[in-house]
Amino acid sequence: MDADTHRADVDVAAAGAEAVSRNADIIGPREQAALRAATVLVAGCGGGGGVVEPLTRLGVLRFRLADPDRFDVSNLNRQACTQADVGRSKPEAIADRVRALNPSADVTVYPQGLTLDNLDEALDGAHIVFDGIDPTMSAWVKYQLHERAARRGIPVLAGMDFGGKPTLYVFDYRRNPVPFYGRASAEAHRENRLWESMRWTGSTHVPSDFLPVQADRFANGGTWPQIGYCVLGLATLTTRAVVDLLMNRRTRHVVTMDVHAAVMTRPAALLHRARMPVELLKTRRALRAATRRGPRPKETAPQPPRPLPERLATLLDGARLAPSAYNAQPWRFELLDDRTVLPAPDPARWPAADRDPLGWADSLGCALGAMTYLAHGEWEPRPPGQTEALGPVGRFHCDRLRDDVLLRQGVLGLRATHREDLLRTPLDQSTAKRIELLCAERNLTLDTVTGPTALARLARTEFDAAMSADPARDAELRAWLRERARTAKGRSSFGDQSDLLDGSGLPGSLARALHGETVQAALARPLRSAAAKGQARRLRNSGAVLVLRGPRRTVADRLEAGAALMHIWLTLTEAGYAAQPLRGEFGRPPAGLASDGDNGILAILRTGRATAAPPHRIMRCPVEGSVRWAG
């Protein structure tokens, strides 16, 4: 026998010992031995796949992996797979991962998944079972797994990911050999009565920020949202529970941790928990209604007559996220072919009370800016004086989406108007440089007002201007905003007026009351002075105020201005700065920045580091409402 072969066996033993050596003193020698000797059956390698890797790293060598499914792209956010695994059988891909971690591992795969025929074989000799079977797919097999494991006295760990709260249910059938501890019936599983068969999860473990999602799924069906850090949390809890169960130690029945609450400040976490009873009541009501109504007939969403080409769909999704004065979204898009969009104004969405005849063009320009941010292409403005005033303002021919389109979609989605006080952090040099370059490329002039003295001077003049503005017009615009927010559809498409006007930082309901008709009518003057003081304070509490100047006479000028504002804003967002435009809404520029002839003020943006979270929801009209095929 040659020297090498002899060494190989020693090497395996040595490598095996070395591989888990850093467990020592956290995991005792007996525990390590139990892990080595264990056979773990993982039923369902989607959520279950996440427990296999940490168990292998901990020292488990024998696995039985079962799942009939293959990995797909939508699993990448949470399951233990890579791009290369997409399309592959889940247990086979996970088995390769185990062998890559420990070539001595002994892995049996069941690519057909667990069935009533192979269940006994898979269970025989198993020490621990991880139940990751999706109850919407094979409820009866799930029940049988528990029933037969209980008969054999094999502990089963069943994982649930409730939003940000990984929750592990430990059924130690050595101590209580009743499937699901009697909290779910065989009948409900056999007849696929989903919510009934899920009773073993209890409702008090679902966190308050996930209960509304659960209530929505009860009422409307739809896929269950799942997230990576929750699946990882479940793997962490499972791995430790396996150690205790292998040592025959008692564990809790429900092992959980609320990841969201763990990160929140104490008061926010208290509020998060305090919301439980209310959300629970709502969810129970939704569940009762869903049970009364029975299973929902499968609905297919009506197909649009001519679906949007994918490239343009991405583009228009980006355009839809663009900022617009009053969140009016005064745009509509005509599609010429699979690559050409004709943006046009939508006067129905623009307030007549706004006296700037071309005010809508700045916002349409922002939408155009969003499109050129996402795609390479050619913009052809409508020649001056051609076609009717409210027709398409030009055409954008899209060559292809930019290589980093995903990142840019992220920046577009993050960009929001920050009306809170910002940190007075001046812009860093490279961001300032990039913005200057952006303006120079468009022959626009950029003034940057920065530093406490200049900003305070600006704030002072701003207060006076605000107090001298025409209160009647303000009232007219507020009435228009109130009217727009009267319906649920109006609110979800445009938001309500406190979303726009409020920088008070008051909680939603109080802010809405403050901007309500009654309060506004009763306290118009003091509220206007409070708003003006607020605006002045916000100007002082900024890192810098960027003032963009250039020609503003034609539609093309204003479109260019809007596109420039958008690109500047996105550059700031990429660099982690927040911003708020201060022009257009209520139609007056800050007094301290007068226009000079052809070099008029196009846009004003206060910027700095954010001190508050951007609004949780993005209020926009559905894209279908603004798009149609030309002709």
Ligand X SMILES: Cc1cc2nc3c(=O)[nH]c(=O)nc-3n(C[C@H](O)[C@H](O)[C@H](O)COP(=O)(O)O)c2cc1C
Residues at the interface with ligand X (CB under 6 A): 323-325, 327, 362-363, 366, 416-417, 419, 500, 580-585
- Is the separation of the CB atoms in 128 and 41 below 8 Å? yes
Least spacing, CB of residue 510 vs ligand X, in Å: 19
Least spacing, CB of residue 468 vs ligand X, in Å: 17
Q: What order do you get walking across the sheet with 578-581 strand by strand?
A: 445-450, 544-550, 600-608, 578-581
Hey, what's the torsion of the CAs at 173, 178, 181, 186, to 10 degrees? Answer: 130
Least spacing, CB of residue 136 vs ligand X, in Å: 36
* CB nearer to ligand X: pick between 67 and 585: 585
* CB nearer to ligand X: pick between 39 and 327: 327
Least spacing, CB of residue 140 vs ligand X, in Å: 48
Distance CA 396, CA 368 (A): 8
Least spacing, CB of residue 286 vs ligand X, in Å: 30
Distance CA 499, CA 395 (A): 32
Distance CA 58, CA 498 (A): 53
- Is the separation of the CB atoms in 231 and 166 below 8 Å? yes
Q: Which two tokens stand for residue 228?
A: 């990576």
Q: Which DSSP letter does residue 427 get?
A: P
Least spacing, CB of residue 586 vs ligand X, in Å: 6
Handedness of CA 315, 320, 323, 324 (dihedral sign): positive
* CB nearer to ligand X: pick between 31 and 362: 362
Least spacing, CB of residue 363 vs ligand X, in Å: 5
Least spacing, CB of residue 602 vs ligand X, in Å: 9
* CB nearer to ligand X: pick between 200 and 350: 350
Report which of 327, 210, 225 is spatially closest to residue 618, judged by C-alpha positions: 327
* CB nearer to ligand X: pick between 214 and 324: 324
Least spacing, CB of residue 328 vs ligand X, in Å: 8
* CB nearer to ligand X: pick between 54 and 614: 614
* CB nearer to ligand X: pick between 161 and 362: 362
Which letter, b or e, does each residue of 477-514 get, where b requires 16 or more Cβ atoms within 10 Å of its Cβ?
Answer: bbebbbebbeeeebbebbbbbbbbbbbbeeeeeebbeb
Residue holding tokens 């920050």?
418
3-class SS at 370?
helix
* CB nearer to ligand X: pick between 352 and 613: 613
Distance CA 135, CA 189 (A): 8
Report which of 346, 322, 347 is spatially closest to residue 334, judged by C-alpha positions: 346
Contacts 24+ apart (CB under 8 A), 289-294: 289/218, 289/219, 290/195, 290/218, 290/219, 291/195, 291/196
Distance CA 19, CA 418 (A): 50
* CB nearer to ligand X: pick between 66 and 566: 566
- Is the separation of the CB atoms in 127 and 154 below 8 Å? yes
Q: Which residue is closest to ligand X by CB?
A: 323
Distance CA 496, CA 34 (A): 61
Q: Which two tokens stand for residue 580?
A: 């708020």
Report which of 279, 58, 53, 271 is spatially closest to residue 162, judged by C-alpha positions: 279
* CB nearer to ligand X: pick between 184 and 561: 561
- Is the separation of the CB atoms in 462 and 591 below 8 Å? yes
Distance CA 585, CA 326 (A): 6
* CB nearer to ligand X: pick between 166 and 369: 369
* CB nearer to ligand X: pick between 382 and 583: 583
Mark residue 87 as left, alpha or beta (left: phi above 0; alpha: psi -120 to 50; beta: remaining): left
* CB nearer to ligand X: pick between 132 and 343: 343
- Is the separation of the CB atoms in 378 and 577 below 8 Å? no
Least spacing, CB of residue 336 vs ligand X, in Å: 26
Report which of 167, 178, 179, 153 is spatially closest to residue 245, judged by C-alpha positions: 153
